[in-house]
Structure 1
């Protein structure tokens, strides 16, 4: 086995975590094959190479904050900032769902390290034929490259309220071909639709791609790799399907995220029947009740605000914060961010009180008679 290691992400990215941790898309294009991307079709004779994402894994553990599982309750209106009528920070009804990246704490060196790491991933494709890797290895590569690129560009543009406002040379971020693999210019959307959706049949792949919006699937606090990609996609699917931003009930109508409309040409051609079957696979008891209690589906759920802690703005009002034991610490964070983190803590305390904790994950367990490719994502 050969392990390929992209050049190290700047270590300064890790330091940002100490500041807090101590306390509608366009309709999907057709799914017809595009000859420009045929070179990325997975090989039928994979080679035994792996890519080492340990640097990115460490960065994700320090830069991503989970807001915890959805309680299927909308977050109330946040209080106004002290001394002003202006509302800073997040106001989204989904602001206590999903995960967040601490863009407001990233300095120029950290942001430039994202660019360097994205370029290192691009160069990795010059060292090994990506499409000749195992399917899981390829899938992990494309998801990581997509998400690194999105984080890089959002960090460069921050502060920004909505990632879809970002343009690169006049082209919307999702359509901009600023990524180059094997000499082919790619956009984030190309990676999703022209490479992954075109070559992977399992719809759970949609939950790996992070687009920087509160309304989308969460970014994981781990890098994807060949061993964990199936597990992380299942985790992302359960989180999204069982959240308000994924599914809600209005009368006899099941309202679902616009994401499902966008990926329908690839995964849900018989839309209602296929989508209900997919949702049922990941639904908890509460969500299953929504499915059985509705007779039609509408793709009306969306939230385009940035998935950060500050709401995409620099707030002029700051507050000293305390550690868990009440000790004063020496840095300050925006007042609205303090309020958001307090709401997050209250949510976690409620989860504990109500006994909603406890998730046991079994992965990479082989039983007699299991095929060698048991964990492969098709």
Structure 2
């Protein structure tokens, strides 16, 4: 039944306006920034300044990487907004012929629909430590196996969309980076919707972030480790294993990551995949007290303010210690990446030539050293 969704068309008769989804994501996504490849410290250390060491969420070395959704700020109004967009996408596709959309429009449709369903279901179940534990009761099925979508009369699960449509019919491995599972170990969520005109460049951008993070490629005790996502995608994109994988990773690798890939083990092993919810609390379901939050309000205030434009009444409670630790880590990472701009006068021997100015951006020396850049 999935063959009806093969991207056979080059038509540009219709396009879908995903601006409402961009409006949502631009406020709901907490941007963590590019990984600094520094593993998170052991559980407990990040909470000493937050007034508590209690954690029921992630304890992995990757828990401060990847953009997050601020589920703790959602109220019924926000959940309804996401649900309407999710249903509106299906209704739009059901009103017209699938082949009247270009291949890139079709791809953007599936990526946005998949992500909207994941966000909506997690929001309804929040707080939840792992998306994979969400059970759709009327089907007695887990989140990724339940039939939650219907397009052109075909009932689809999230795994159907990932493996039987996107992975099956799009032969570019970049699509791996467009499906957000809601898990810390997976790809990050972008703060804007995928659009048919930009989906390819958006996937490359997200791929660069993931490959150069510890979640994508890591080195543990001198041995290379890769994400479980690449193992799952092996039958679709990396049949000539592991050479196809290394070729893919090399397209995105920066200097530091390239040194790890150069190890080229014959049978690369996956790292431990973090299944915890990719919210700002890293899957933590136990809140810190009001006093704890008051003591650290300066570090975490930005989290609530980013959503206030859409909803001022969505707060369900104070920020957890994990959320405050994530905010501190993100701000410190951003501070290290700030560079300087130098204005230089450009002179010429031609007396009639106008004087010009050139802007050059010089990276911060400390940041360049940390990343192994020349």
TM-score (norm 2): 0.80
Offset of residue 89 of structure 1: 5.7
The question of 1:139 aligning with 2:107 is answered yes
Q: Quick check: 210-219 or 335-344, which moved more?
A: 335-344
Q: Return the alpha-carbon distance in structure 2 between the equivalents of residues 50 and 161 of structure 1.
A: 37
Structure 1 residue corresponding to 2:289, chosen from 309, 317, 332: 317
Please point out which of 94, 111, 125 is paired with 1:157.
Answer: 125
Q: Note if 1:120 corresponds to 2:88.
A: yes
Match status 1:256 vs 2:218: no
Q: Please tell me whether residue 347 in structure 1 is matched to residue 316 in structure 2.
A: no
Note if contact 1:74-1:94 (Cα within 8 Å) is conserved in structure 2: yes
Any conservation in 1 of the 2:211–2:253 contact (CA below 8 Å)?
Answer: yes
Distance 2:51 2:288 in 1: 11
Residues 273 and 51 of structure 1: is their aligned pair in 2 closer, same or farther, counting only changes over 3 Å? same
Q: Secondary structure of the residue that 2:147 maps to in structure 1?
A: coil
Aligned-residue CA RMSD (Å):
2.5
SS at match of 1:213: coil
Task: Classify the secondary structure of the residue corresponding to 2:275.
Answer: coil
**Secondary structure in 1 matching 2:276:** coil
- In the alignment, the residues of structure 1 paired with residue 273 and residue 20 of structure 2 have an alpha-carbon distance, to the nearest angstrom, of 33
Deviations 1:195-249 (A, max 9, x none): 1111111000110000000110111011001111011100111111111011112
Bigger mean CA offset, 128-137 vs 151-160 = 128-137
Larger radius of gyration: 2
Is the contact made by 2:55 and 2:286 (CA closer than 8 Å) also made in structure 1?
Answer: no
Q: Deviations over 1:284-305 (max 9, x none)?
A: 1111111113433112341111
Contact persistence 1:88–1:311 (CA under 8 A):
no
CA pair 132-86 structure 1, distance change in 2 beyond 3 A: same
Structure 2: which 5+ runs fail to align?
Answer: 306-311, 339-363, 369-374
What is the match of residue 372 of structure 2? none
Structure 2 contact 146–157 (Cα < 8 Å) conserved: yes
Structure 1 residues 131 and 301 mapped into 2: Cα distance closer, same or farther (>3 Å)? farther
In structure 2, distance between residues paired with 1:258 and 1:153: 23
In structure 1, what is the Cα distance between the partners aligned to 2:213 and 2:337?
A: 15
Aligned partner of residue 47 in structure 2, secondary structure: coil
Q: What does residue 333 of structure 1 align with?
A: 318
Report runs of 4+ in structure 1 exceeding 6 Å deviation: 323-326, 329-332
TM-score (normalizing by structure 1): 0.79
Indicate which of 45, 48, 55 corresponds to 2:20: 55
In the alignment, the residues of structure 1 paired with residue 330 and residue 299 of structure 2 have an alpha-carbon distance, to the nearest angstrom, of: 15
The structural deviation recorded for 1:81 is: 7.8
Q: Is 1:76 aligned to residue 44 of structure 2?
A: no
Alignment partner, residue 249 of structure 2 = 279
Cα 1:261–1:88, aligned 2, differ >3 Å: closer, same or farther? closer
Q: Number of aligned pairs?
A: 320
Look up the match of 2:211. 241
Distance in 2 (alpha carbons) for counterparts of 1:53 and 1:305 = 28
Measure the CA separation in 1 of the matches of 2:300 and 2:74: 24
CA 1:335–1:190 in structure 2 vs 1: closer, same or farther (change >3 Å)?
A: closer
Partner-residue secondary structure (3-state), 2:150: strand
User: Could you say what secondary structure the match of 1:179 adopts?
Assistant: strand
Which residue of structure 2 lines up, in the alignment, with residue 110 of structure 1?
78
Cα distance in 1 for partners of 2:301, 2:327 equals: 16
User: Is the 8 Å Cα contact of residues 108 and 194 (structure 2) preserved in structure 1?
Assistant: yes
Aligned to 1:218: 188
Q: Equivalent residue of 2:15, what SS?
A: strand
How far apart in 2 are the matches of 1:316 and 1:120?
37
Q: Please report how far the alpha carbon of residue 49 of structure 1 lies from its aligned counterpart in structure 2 after TM superposition.
A: 1.2
Residue 48 of structure 1 and its aligned partner are, at CA, apart by: 2.3
Aligned to 2:276: 305
Q: In the aligned structure 2, how far is the partner of 1:160 from the partner of 1:338? A: 18
Contact 2:63 2:282 in 1 (8 A): no
For the 8 Å contact 1:42–1:132, the answer to whether it is kept is no
1:209 lines up with 2:179 in the alignment: yes
Deviations 1:333-356 (Å, cap 9, x if unpaired)? Answer: 325122321222112212235346
